[in-house]
Amino acid sequence: MICLVLTVFANLFPAARGGAHERTFVAVKPDGVQRRLVGEVVRRLERKGFQLVALKLVQAPEELLREHYAELRQRPFFGRLLQYMRSGPVVAMVWQGLDVVRASRALIGATDPADAPPGTIRGDFCVEIGKNVVHGSDSVDSARREIALWFRADELLCWEDSAGHWLYE
C-alpha cells in the first residue's frame, strides 16, 4: 500500500522521483541470453545493492521495439537494430535504488564496447556496438517511459528490502 502511494506520487510529481526509489529499465539483449550472460548481468546489479522489482523473458514484438527505440528511427542502423533485438528472447528487468539510472549505465559501460572499460559489462563481455549484450535506460524520464512500455503496473513487485538498512544511511 505504501509502495502504491509512493509510485502514484512519484508518477504525479516527477521531480519527487529518485532517492532510493528511483527505478530503471535494464534488458539482457538476445546475444546476452544466448551467451548465458543473464546471471552475470543480474549478479552485477544485485551485488551493487540494487533491488529487483520485475523480471521476465520476452520475445519482443516488432511494435514494442519500434516504440522502445523510437528516437533512433532515422538512424541508418535502425533496421539492423530491430532485427537483432527480435532475433531471440530478451530478459526485461526493472531495478530500483539510489541513482540507479546513472549507476547502472556506469556498470553497463559505453554504447560501443571498444570504449567501455574493463570491469563494465560491455567492457568485459562483448566487442561490437551492434551486439552489446545489455540495455539500460539513459535518464529517469526514459526509464519511466520504458518501464511502462515493457511492464504492466501489476508486474512491478513491491517487497521489503531487508538489506536496505545496510545500504542506506
Residue 85 to residue 65: CA distance in whole angstroms: 7
Report the partner that residue 168 touches, choosing among ligand DAT, Mg ion, none (CB closer than 5 to 8 A by kind).
none
Residue 138 C-beta: closest distance to Mg ion, Å: 5
User: Could you list the residues that contact ligand DAT (CB under 6 A)?
Assistant: 72, 77, 81, 111, 129-130, 132, 135, 138
Q: Which residue is nearest to ligand DAT (CB)?
A: 111
The catalytically annotated residue of 21, 68, 135, 165 is: 135
Report the partner that residue 20 touches, choosing among ligand DAT, Mg ion, none (CB closer than 5 to 8 A by kind).
none
Whether 165 is catalytic is no
Are the C-beta atoms of residues 70 and 27 closer than 8 Å to each other? Answer: no
Nearest to Mg ion of 115, 163 (CB atom): 115
67 contacts Mg ion (rule: CB under 5 A): no
